[in-house]
A and B are shown apart, each in its own frame.
Chain A
Amino acid sequence: MDLAASGMFLPPQTVGTILCCICGVTMSPNSANMCVTCLRSRVDITEGLPRHAALFYCPECQCYLQPPRTWIRADLESKELLTFCLRRLKPLTRNVRIINAEFVWTEPHSKRIKLRLRIQKEVLNGAILEQSHIVEFTQHDNLCESCTRYQANPDQWVAAVQLRQHVSHRRTFFFLEQLILRHGAASRAINIKEADRGVDFFFGNRSHAIKFVDFISNSIPAQSRSDKQLVSHDPKSSTYNYKYTFSVEICPICREDLICLPPKVAKSFGNLGPLVLCMKVSNSIALLDPLTLRIAYLDANKYWASPFKAFLSSRQLVEFIVLDVDLESSEIAVGGLKYALAYVQVARLSDFGKNDNIFSVRTHLGHLLCPGDYALGYDLYGANINDIEMDKYKGLDIPHVILLKKSYEQMRKKKRGKARSWKLKSLNMEVDGTIKARPDEEKRAAEYEEFLWDLEENPEMRFNISLYRDKDYQPSEMASTVDGDDLPSVPLDELIAELDISDDENDNTNSME
């Protein structure tokens, strides 16, 4: 008090007792001058408060309805349910203050939710009464709209995205699958189906599909078209239900393809040698001229303005053995990767030892190759070229062999059956079992194995992919390499330990490394 602070002497004040005006019991004075029992018996602050309320609950997705249309997911006796129930009671409890709210346990099958509230309200001349009040919510089962639609027809989709790439392999889709898993882009997909030259994704909402298409367009050069089809039409409220389809065409140029650029495109890049290798496909295509070490980048719009196809792809790679390397320039970094121009003498592995066919070629792999190495490349000497673009060039000097990459095939043959220390997750795709099933399985498995090798060899490809540590992997004792190079493999610090949320005693949550 100010008086006390100013130094004035205040005699001590003890409050006396009075008799309650109703029942005569001794009490200390309060603003109503009635004892608490009398006050409580005379005044009930909970009158007018609701004692029962109704909730609508969807048993399929365990959501509660917040009128008019929102469904909120909540577990029994959870914080979300508590806030939801209080929000339902809010307009009716405007005059009182809620101090505390908690759940009273009810049998889960009873379809009753009981809430105990502590209410405070001012009565008479400023006395504040606190009372406990129980509200019972009756839970009525009612399927929410999306569950009803799903029940009626489980395959019902509203938007579909069809990814297609018109090449004869599925490497792009393996890579895309890992990318999608890493970013969770297909988390809202109702259904994923494999088709002949691509994958179909089905969504329940047009905006989810658009988000997915945007994600794909940002990761890969692709062209998309959209269309819609009228499903139903309500003339009274003038609402229309459509099915939307998005057709996404991925550009057919893949990594390690040999391309002959059309004259216009070559000119626009400053006469980039018409034969180029595709080194990297992300949201733009990186084309490397192996003879001059020039890189050009082609983004999606530019590509689709004048599209072209590869004329040799990695299926047609032939293995060569390197006989001699003559470095022409030092190692330079082009587009983030190191290359060195060199003259090498190579012979086809199939020719080696049988005849003397030796090719002297210029290559960009000078920094990697040593005599005795194996390399993969395109055999243009023996190839039958019938590319349209190639014909447009007059007097083109085509090299005999274009080497692409170093080959680890021989080493792999030695260490066949060596387990990998890492593994990949996969999307659960529905395979279209009707068209061309059996013979493709082997091809698919071989392609997948090649994709995994690719991942091992190229660190920059692993950049956007999550590799998980394989728990069942035991490094064998014979792993110590006595013989020369080690196979390229994924270093341990790039692997993510899988998050295991099960109730194992020995397994707690692992952290990302």
Chain B
Amino acid sequence: MATRVQFENCCDIGVFSKLTNAYCLVAIGGSENFYSIFEGELADAIPVVKTSIAGTRIIGRLCAGNKNGLLVPHTTTDQEVQHLRNSLPDQVVVQRIEERLSALGNCISCNDYVALTHPDLDRETEELVADILGVEVFRQTVAGNILVGSYCSFTNKGGLVPPHTSIEDLDELSTLLQVPLVAGTVNRGSEVISAGMIVNDWTAFCGSDTTATELSVIESVFKLNESQPSMIVDEMRKSLIDSYV
């Protein structure tokens, strides 16, 4: 299910947080409200880590990652990298990247299997992305926008693209990503999807301006309706029991 959240009265929560299937990063706000909402929702399943990157709070737009790894820009300080390495689970590899386009969150959009990157990303960065995140990398634009990281958001279950994406583009992307895609908006008609919401396989958080229609679209495309973290284990249990017997 999707929750409406605000960060210090701002509805662009995708700027101040990052959510994956294995961890959640949260910016340090003036009050603890933001952090406590995430903690309340997610603390049982995954670690919620308060951090800054390069001394800033716009961590959602600066870093990119999935359950396998986390990529941070070269401006990240050593303490921050160390803090991240300490707080995140061991299987998550934290790597600092030397890249001209340092806002990795705007340039890279990924789930656990596929990543879409900014067409001008360096060759080495692309290889690092493929390596550390364990994904297949495609250089793509979404609806004519080169900042794929901010304009489209997808998980292993589905994805959301900006409203003026043409149907041909939608089909093409869907084929690449192998997930169902839908064109929609967030935060009452805003087209910058990734900035307005964060999502993983079982939960999503949206800015508080998001209307009910938008929430229903999000919940349906990301298949959040009956999702609970335990459901993944239940599915696995079936196959486990099979193998036992």
Contacts and interface: CB of A to CB of B under 8 A. Distances in A.
A27 to B, nearest CB: 9
Contacts of A16: 165-167, 170, 183
Given A18-B163, A24-B216, A33 B168 contact: no
Interface in B184-235: 184-185, 188-191, 211-214, 216-217
Interface residues of B, number: 21
A12 B169 CA distance: 10
B100 interface: no
B83 interface: no
The 10 closest A-B pairs by CB, nearest first: A33-B189, A29-B163, A24-B213, A13-B166, A18-B163, A29-B164, A33-B185, A16-B167, A21-B211, A14-B167
A11 interface: yes
A21 B166 contact: no
A20 B213 contact: yes
B187 to A, nearest CB: 9
Contacts of A13: 166, 168-169
Nearest to A29: B163
A124 interface: yes
Nearest to A39: B189
B172 to A, nearest CB: 9
Interface of A: 11-16, 18-24, 29, 32-34, 124-125
Interface string B142-185: 00000000000000000000011111111000000000000111
6 contacts: A12-B168, A15-B166, A16-B165, A16-B183, A18-B185, A21-B185
A18 to B, nearest CB: 4
Nearest to B215: A21
B162 to A, nearest CB: 8
A15 B170 CA distance: 10
B168 A14 contact: yes
Nearest to B170: A16
Given A24-B213, A32-B189, A19 B166 contact: no
A244 B168 CA distance: 86
A21 B168 contact: no
Interface in B107-166: 163-166
Contact of A19 (B170, B191, B213): B213
Contacts of B185: 18, 21, 33
Q: Which of A14, A20, A33, A124 is the most central at the interface, judged by chain B CB atoms within 10 Å of its CB?
A: A33
Contact of A15 (B167, B213, B214): B167
Contacts of A20: 213
A124 to B, nearest CB: 7
A19 B185 CA distance: 9
A14 B217 CA distance: 21
Given A15-B164, A21-B213, 14 more contacts: A12-B168, A13-B166, A15-B166, A15-B167, A16-B166, A19-B213, A20-B213, A21-B189, A22-B211, A24-B212, A24-B213, A29-B183, A33-B185, A34-B188
Contact of A33 (B165, B166, B167, B191): B191
A33 B216 contact: no
Contacts of B165: 16
Contact of A21 (B164, B167, B183, B214): B214
B186 to A, nearest CB: 8
B189 A124 contact: yes
A11 to B, nearest CB: 6
Nearest to A22: B211
Nearest to B172: A11
Nearest to B169: A13
B184 A19 contact: yes
A18 B190 CA distance: 13
Q: Which of A15, A24, A29, A32 is the most central at the interface, judged by chain B CB atoms within 10 Å of its CB?
A: A29
A14 B191 CA distance: 18
